[in-house]
Amino acid sequence: MSDFIRNSVAIGSKALDYLENEDSEIYGYLCDEFNRQRSTLQLIASENFASPAVLAMTGSVLTNKYAEGYPQKRYYGGNQFIDEIEDIARERAKVLFSTDHVNVQPHSGSSANLAVYQALLNPGDTVLAMRLDQGGHLTHGAAASVTGKMYNFQQYGLTPRSTDGGERIDFDYLRDLAKTSKPKLIVAGATAYPREIDPTVFRAIADEVGALLMFDSAHPMGLIAAGVHVSPVGIADVVTFTTHKTLRGPRGGAILCKHEFAKKIDSAVFPGLQGGPLEHVVAAKAIAFKEASTENFVRYGRQIKENSSILGETLIKEGFRLVSNGTDNHLVLVDLRDFDADLDGKIAQESLDSVGITCNRNQIPDDPRKPLVTSGLRLGTAAMTTSGMKGSQMSQVGSLIARTLRNRNDENELKLIKDEVNDLCSKFDPYPEGEMWPGMANFEA
Ligand code: DSN
């Protein structure tokens, strides 16, 4: 590894020299994973390539510091610089998203969601959210999640495939459900929904029944920052998000809210749910917010959507059906059944993995197969876009996916595809040695 890369993946290349000699097992797997990320295609819709600056900050000495509390109100000494960093992170997020208040401490999107429930609900309260197999998230009240055990979640989903403009959020059902169940909170947002979610329709329904509105924008937050997805900020009472998906920062969560909920949200995060915040991650979030406030990032956001649309069109031409028949965000959800009735999500994911195309199997609405098998694949373009790929590469990737799945039992063909994937990745290295990071370089005006 060059010094440039070594300094990006962990602070100080001497530390990596030490690891190479003294803890070669972990060092070896770090190198393996680094090479895997560079030599295979990353299509997991919730992943991205963070900038070298973000990587360096998450590997910095800030990890050493305990800072329970909030800036100027800490429980331990020595936080004068940490306070500055967290204040900068909060200020940058406030400006980027035009919000009244922000909490940058949640360790993850799940923690952020739990904190909102803790702030706004009592155990047993009724909440409406999207069902997991319709595109929702575990923390949207799935039976296996503590959220489903602790609160009375009732679930809405999508209109059937057969209806005109099918597989869109079923707002008529949601409105009826809201009227009969009188929820305290309605949750908007999804992890596997390929369409833009309009917060104003949710707001209108919430207002009709006197409910609060939370928007979980974990997936589209980078698109929102880039101004290419409608913003729920100021419409929803509370917005949760993750910083590592389309937003391309460090792994973590955050919460935006109106003034009136600020105190409750902050108390729910600390001391309600978490102890010491991860200030190395908070600093990296500040860096990511700055990166996301540039014109360069606006161009990046536009390209993610264009790439997703071209990938979707290619897959349709290859004989796949897409849930909702297309996309207007960073992901496509592929229904494999029309392409090949015998092909399930597990086999598809494993076949693609074998040629270096990394994605995840995913349930499609009303999936007849179990969650560990599924009939679908979820593919996202945020990471490939960071590495500099554009429309022609998206067409190539779509065709490679179809070729792999058609020839999944043909070892020779799979070998040829793997070579082609490798060749493509070598031209779009997310961390090229000694060159400017493509996440910046490819989106310069
Ligand atoms: N695991 C995330 C995703 O893939 O969407 C959600 O938590």
- Residue type (1 letter), 132: L
Give residue 248's pLDDT: 98
Question: Domain for residue 424, yes or no?
Answer: yes
Q: With the CA atoms of 257, 259, 261 and 267 taken in that order, what torsion angle do they form, in degrees rounded to the nearest 10? A: 90
Proportion of the chain above pLDDT 90, given as a percent: 91
Question: Domain for residue 357, yes or no?
Answer: yes
Distance, CA of 290 to CA of 92 (rounded, Å): 7
132/96 same-domain check: yes
Closest CA to 356 of 127, 32, 23, 40: 40
* Mean pLDDT of the chain, nearest integer: 95
236/321 same-domain check: no
Strand ordering across the sheet containing 376-380: 321-322, 331-335, 376-380, 360-362
Dihedrals phi, psi of 241, to nearest 5 degrees = -160, 170
157/282 same-domain check: yes
Question: Domain for residue 47, yes or no?
Answer: no
Give residue 4's pLDDT: 56
- What is the number of domains present in the chain? 2
Give residue 267's pLDDT: 98
Give residue 3's pLDDT: 62
Q: What is the CATH number of the domain that holds 390?
A: 3.90.1150.10
- Closest ligand 1 atom to Cα of 44: 4
- Whether 349 lines ligand 1, by a CB cut-off of 6 Å, is no
Distance, CA of 195 to CA of 237 (rounded, Å): 22
The token pair at 311 is 């990938």
- Whether 191 lines ligand 1, by a CB cut-off of 6 Å, is yes
Question: Domain for residue 102, yes or no?
Answer: yes
187/267 same-domain check: yes
Rounded distance from Cα 218 to ligand 1 centre (Å): 8
Which pTM does this prediction carry? 0.96
- Whether 374 lines ligand 1, by a CB cut-off of 6 Å, is no
Proportion of the chain above pLDDT 70, given as a percent: 97
Give residue 436's pLDDT: 85
Question: pLDDT class for 34, splitting at 50, 70, 90?
Answer: very high
Domain range for residue 423?
A: 296-443
133/242 same-domain check: yes
Give residue 9's pLDDT: 52
Burial (CB count <10 Å: 0-12, 13-18, 19+), residue 343: middle
Question: Domain for residue 26, yes or no?
Answer: no
Give residue 166's pLDDT: 82
Burial (CB count <10 Å: 0-12, 13-18, 19+), residue 107: middle
Question: Domain for residue 4, yes or no?
Answer: no
List 6, 20, 68, 264, catalytic entry: 68
What are the angstrom distances between the C-alpha of 51 and each of 182, 197, 311, 437? 44, 28, 24, 7
Q: What is the mean pLDDT of residues 25-29?
A: 95
